[in-house]
Amino acid sequence: MGRKQELAKNTAVLTIGKLLTKLISFFLLPLYTTILAAEEYGAYDVLVTYGTLLIPIFNWQFDQGLFRFMLDNRKDEEKQKELFSTMFFSCFLQIAVYVILFLLVMPLLKMEDAYFLLWYVVLHIFFQLLHQFIRGRGGNVKYTIASFISTSMITIMNVITLVFLKMGVQGMYISTLVALMMSIIYMVFATKFWKFFSFRCIRMDTFRQVAAYAFPLIPNNLAWWVVNASNRLVIKRFLGLTANGIFTAANKFPNVFIQFYNILNLSWTETVTLHFEDEDRDEFLTETMTALFKLFSCACFGIMALMPFIYSLLVRGAEYAPGFYQIPILMLGMLFRVLVGLYSCIYVAQKNAKKIATTSAMAAAINLTVSLGFIKSLGLYAASLSTLVAFLAMFIIRYIDVNRTVHMKIQKNIAIPTIVVAILSVVSYYSGLKIVQVIVLGIVIVYSVMMNMDYVKMFTAKVKKILKRA
């Protein structure tokens, strides 16, 4: 199978399970914003934000290390046993350290609903290790099913606990934990992990190898947390939980966009790593990078152009209305995040975790500086702008650095019209004039079709084949 076909197949398999369930969750946004007050929604988001900070600290990023070394040993089952046994045993050490510190520190902080934070991190340590083990073995279908179970169970349980049991935000906590447990149970039986775990296979040298790769990823993930999540805590501190709930609702739209990238990134990273030594590597990377840039930029502008017509339909509570004005800034920030991720795969292929951490730390510092520096004067706009500026800076840094060793550039004849359409989309969005917004929506549609004509032709050809068979 060719590299492009391999990338397309893996992406398609992963998309079926992850994107569809994310879309279902997204379309339940009117339910959440109708039943939950912005303060409750913001409180849930803050605890999840704390969880995303604690997970990389206490799982030591061994899940990422396991995946990377599994790619090098897909045909060596004995080495796979050594890797899994060593990393699974380390899981219990990680959890023991976390639980002990949690029980010592939490009484001092007097945090509400601390039970959720305790179990959220513990379950995620197991979830991520098993998830990456499946992915490392090439089990993309099982990987997708595990994601499907997690997301669909959260959705189903939220409907039950919020609509029928009237449990409020407590229902969201319980739904999240139950979904994680169900997904872990599935992965335990799907992987038959007991066949890969043995105390005799635990190796200190394997621990050291994975740790040497994984430990530098801890500051990288902390930096990503600063870029992605710290804004919520800054908002909570200076603007309150209600403002945080508004910001969380506004982020739902960029999150749908970024979820598709996250799916693609799983197969993109694997494809680049497995074919990094190919003779025509640079040509393949440049061609694929250009195609993905066109696809994601069009998706970004499409969502922005649609927002003036659908935001009020999907976000029902009147107190969430200010979130509408944050979306263009956040969408552009997520577009640069996509570009950052597409270039990051080079560092993964090179096992250059230190470079990943260094560039992420620069972006984190920029994000926090802008957010804290302008939160009092600009309000929610400071949080949105800090995200955009941070990802733009990280993209520039990684673009320059990667192209020193690997040719992977965006063509000017693609970049210039993209910038023009981006400006038109932002101006029409904030103009508030429906006629202008309709015209720009039409321009974005035409632009998207022209930029992605190869995909349009491919899709049309497949539809014709299906119709002929029918």
Here the tokens at position 56 are 């990389």
User: Per residue in 115-141, pLDDT tens?
Assistant: 999 999 999 999 999 999 998 888 878
pLDDT of residue 160: 93
Q: Is the pLDDT of residue 464 over 80?
A: no
- Give 36's pLDDT tier (boundaries 50, 70, 90): confident
pLDDT of residue 235: 93
Q: Is the pLDDT of residue 214 over 70?
A: yes
Q: Is the pLDDT of residue 19 over 60?
A: no
Q: Are 264 and 11 in contact (CB under 8 A)?
A: yes
Q: Is the pLDDT of residue 164 over 70?
A: yes
Q: Is the pLDDT of residue 11 over 80?
A: no
Question: How far is residue 95's CA from residue 93's CA, in Å, rounded to a whole number?
Answer: 6
pLDDT of residue 26: 62
Residues 6+ apart with CB under 8 A from 384: 250, 326, 329, 330, 333
pLDDT of residue 304: 96
User: Per residue in 398-439, pLDDT tens?
Assistant: 999 988 888 888 888 888 999 999 999 999 999 999 999 999
Mean pLDDT, the chain, rounded, equals 87
pLDDT of residue 17: 54
Q: Is the pLDDT of residue 21 over 90?
A: no
Of the candidates 145, 105, 98, 144, which has an alpha carbon nearest to the alpha carbon of residue 124?
98
Buried/exposed 374-405: b ≥16 CB within 10 Å, e otherwise? ebeeebbebbbbbbbbbbbbbbebbbebbeee
State CA 140 to chain mean position distance.
17
pLDDT of residue 429: 97
pTM of the model as a whole = 0.75
User: Per residue in 252-296, pLDDT tens?
Assistant: 889 888 877 777 776 777 777 777 778 888 888 888 888 889 989
Does residue 65 or residue 26 have the better pLDDT? 65
Does residue 11 or residue 143 have the better pLDDT? 143
User: Per residue in 45-98, pLDDT tens?
Assistant: 889 989 998 999 999 999 989 988 998 888 888 999 999 999 999 999 999 999
In this prediction, residues 181-200 reach a mean pLDDT of 92
Of 12-21, 172-181, 199-208, 299-308, the least confident? 12-21
